[in-house]
Structure 1
Amino acid sequence: MGQMPCVLCWYQRIAMFPLALILGVAAFRNDASIWRYALPVALAGLAVAGYHSLMYAGVLTAPIEPCRAGPSCSGDGMVVLGVPLPFMATASFAAISTLLAILAKNPK
């Protein structure tokens, strides 16, 4: 999108990018035990993304302080298909965490 991410978005990327690599390798190797390594990373990303989403929605009274160092996440440019980026990240981490938790309960 041609914009620098805010600090919280960087933390979310720090969690998401390794997940893409780890889960890709696990899918290639058909490794059902990957949940042991990927679930903590996904949950950490979910925590940051959830906090960011709560700040974005105004549920938390603190302003989006980390966004002052870079672009603001509350601008119209931070919406994709009508969904704000913090909400999209939260949904992604929640979906990954849910699928990994299902895999943990039902190993092959």
Structure 2
Amino acid sequence: VWADDILYPNTNPYGYPNWQWSRPLHYINTPSWNCNYDRLRDCVNDVCVAGALNNYSKRAIAADFDDIQHQEAIMFLVHYVGDVHQPLHVGFQEDRGGNSVRGKSLFLNSKQE
């Protein structure tokens, strides 16, 4: 949640500066016409959750980083591991991470026949 909270000034209770630059690091967009992930096509300059996992894994153990920098890297890393396991965080750009997908709610009656 921390990495989501710091994205926008109005939801940032920690007083961090503007972290909107990290928004594309939470997901991977793939073209709808091709149901696979291609790093060169879908994660240009490592600006996606896969690139973030790689980057923050290295930062978490970087010898020239102090404890605060290591802690921040681990916080991002843990968050992005969660993000990459969200089914709609890796998907088609056209459906905006699943936000444009319309589905039907199914409520089961307690008295099933």
Regarding TM over 0.5, the answer is no
Query: Which TM class, normalised by the smaller chain length?
Result: 0.3 to 0.5
Q: Which structure shows the higher helix fraction?
A: 1
User: Which of these two proteins has the greater Rg computed from alpha carbons?
Assistant: 2
Q: Give TM-score scaled by structure 2 length.
A: 0.34
Higher relative contact order (CA 8 A, sep 6+): 1
